Structure 1
Amino acid sequence: MRSFPEISILFEQYLKTDLPFPGHQERLYEPCRYLLDAGGKRVRPALCLMAAELFGGINPDAYHAAMAVELFHNFTLIHDDIMDKAPLRRGKPTVHARYGLTAGILSGDVMGIFAYDCLGKIRPEHLQKVFRIFNKTAIEVCEGQQWDMDFEEQEEVSIDEYLKMIELKTSVLLAASLQIGAIVAGAPDEDAQHLYEFGKNMGIAFQLQDDYLDTFGAEDKIGKKPGGDIRANKKTFLTLKTREIAGALPVMEALMQKEEEEKVNGVRQLYLDFNIDEHSKNVINQYAEYSFAHLDKISLPGERKEPLRQLAAWLLNRQY
């Protein structure tokens, strides 16, 4: 079993040589290439290939599935950036900011269609099962995005609703990448399902940790100025847990009206006063334990699963 960095390089090479976009209609396809060339960790396609290697080897179907997952993920990024009016992605102008709104919509659409074209190349014996999982996941990602948008307008959001939103918006595609990779390599259904649960719980823990690091992380470690979620008045696990414990605090409402740095420092201190940082760490650890428990249940020797364990540990143990 190869490590995540090794598999990522392998997929990057495949991406450069087998990208499915044709040479005509550059105004449609150049924005697609632009976003893919901007980089990214390639976590989802790498997970797909790692799952395939776990159960016998990376065959052509695994590459088709990995490409489909990466194209679908980037399609969602283009449209998410449009909905969020985001100017930057991976440190560069977003597709719609660089090429215009119409180009962003069309390029995102065609990238999503090419994802399905890649899936269609998978051998018939696996195709129906893979399509079913992929379609279910695509619908759930859209549902998660809608929930995220709804939460901006809702006054009350429960922690359970928030956890469901991040499961759908972030985690299910990680989980499906693993499950599909296992299926095209001939894995037993039970093992493929355990891989799905491993990825789903890892994804939830990862997003909860992002919430934590956005407030309590060190700028030189997380690569951005902490407190962005507080400045944007975003509903995160930390804010929702504070409301669950303390109710509607007048001091919280007053802090939200302050200037940026005073607001960030005040809300951060409020979290510390109510031990929200520790509550957050506990929930992150809980989902990490769920994730590793499913990995342990896969009916393969522990050393074969070690690269996946190391990847999860790396994702979930970024420095605070």
Structure 2
Amino acid sequence: MRIDSFVDVLQTELTTTQYGQHPPELYDPIRYIMSLGGKRLRPLLTLMGTYLFTDDWEKAVRPALAVEVFHNFTLMHDDIMDQAPLRRGHLTVHEKWNPNTAILSGDVMLVNAFELMLNVEAGALKTVMTRFSRTAAEVCEGQQLDMNFETRWDVTETEYIDMIRLKTSVLLGFALELGGLIAGADAETTQLLYDAGVNVGIGFQLKDDLLDVYGDPAKFGKQVGGDIIANKKTFLLIEALEKGQGPLRSELDDWLRRTDFDKAEKVRAVTSIYDQLNIRQLTEQRIDDYFARGFDCFARIDADPARKAVLLDFVQQLIGRES
């Protein structure tokens, strides 16, 4: 089985699914954001998670789409909160229409996601809906924690890891878990799938933090150093604040307090502080640790090795990305 097979089936479903028609001002933004592309890794993980245990993996297509619709709902609302002008190189929904329309369209997307998830077979439906509801709430909890951190300078590594686990990783974990639930896998196996997704998801987010500072601008896909410019609480900044002492800590505090500065100069200065504190090496070690935990969970799953190889190859490709 080739990854392209999952991609083709998913793409067909994405382009043919109807979210509603009237009034068009409500549904056009949904079609718009769903057409902007993206890696589609969450629904693909669901399909591959189902394929691990059954040839009938296409029964997971609409529930997998539910995960993607939910993910894009969170992006639509996050963009409003962040006042972001662009999403994947295009105007965000609140910029193309207006914030009120984006809020309401996002609300309908959430409803659409739950409707799509109802396509799960009856035997697994209650468990799936319970887990989906819990995951949806956790994503919102993570977003609130992230907003709380904006006004705090004492965020710990443990708090940060828990925030990114909730905000980004639990949905990856659920995507894989969902595949196992649809295929009828046992509770131990679905837990391993979930744990694998969560740990790999934390690794992904930490790698994003790292690439924002040390990535190749030609490959990263956005401005390198953007987090430094914005004083964003990333793993790197949190560790630097914890480990920095004396003149280095004073210099870092000075750059964090400044409201008038040359962006390139600030990025160079803060990156230099990170270098002196070995923050890059520490971050790389944490990334490797979480990826290793994820692959340990995959290794403990009892499934056909050839089927598992398809999933592992896909995850390895994601780990190796630089954008």
Q: Please list the CA deviations of residues 232-271 of structure 1 after superposition, one character each: whole Å capped at 9, or x if unmatched.
A: 0001111111122225811101223242111100000111
Residue 313 of structure 1 pairs with residue 313 of structure 2: no
Local SS of the residue matching 1:153 = coil
- The equivalent position to 2:264 in structure 1, one of 261, 267, 274, is 261
Q: Cα RMSD between the aligned structures?
A: 1.4
Asked if 2 retains the 8 angstrom alpha-carbon contact of 1:174 and 1:203, the reply is yes
Following the alignment from structure 1 to structure 2, what is the Cα–Cα distance between the partners of residues 302 and 121? Answer: 28
Residue 234 of structure 1: aligned partner:
232
Partner of residue 136, structure 1: 134
State the shift of 1:187 in Å.
1.3
> In the TM superposition, what is the alpha-carbon distance from 1:61 to its structure 2 partner?
4.0
Residues 51 and 307, structure 2, Cα contact 8 Å, conserved in 1: no
Which residue, 295, 298, 316 being the options, matches 2:298?
295
Percent identity between matched residues is 42
Among 201, 205, 208, the alignment partner of 2:206 is: 208
Instruction: Give the number of equivalent residue pairs.
Output: 318
> Offset of 1:155 from its aligned partner?
2.3
1:13 equivalent in structure 2: 12
- Structure 2: which 5+ residue stretches go unaligned? none
SS in 2 for 1:109: helix
Q: CA deviation at 1:140?
A: 0.4
Equivalent residue for 1:165?
A: 163
**Counterpart code for 2:6:** I
CA distance in 2, matches of 1:198, 1:27: 40
1:137 and 1:172 in contact (8 A); partners too: yes
Q: Which residue of 2 aligns with 1:250?
A: 250
Task: Name structure 1 gaps, 5 residues minimum.
Answer: none
Please state how far the C-alpha of 1:58 moved relative to its aligned partner: 4.0
Describe the shift of the 1:242–1:131 C-alpha distance in structure 2 as closer, same or farther (beyond 3 A). same
Partner amino acid, structure 1, of 2:7? S
User: TM-score if structure 1 supplies the norm length?
Assistant: 0.96
CA contact (8 A) 2:47 2:58 kept: no
Q: CA 1:88 to 1:58, structure 2 compared with 1: closer, same or farther past 3 Å?
A: farther
In structure 2, relative to structure 1, the CA distance for the partners of 1:131 and 1:22 (3 Å cut) is: same
Which one of 153, 164, 180 corresponds to residue 182 of structure 1?
Answer: 180
Q: Structure 1 residue 319: deviation in Å?
A: 4.2
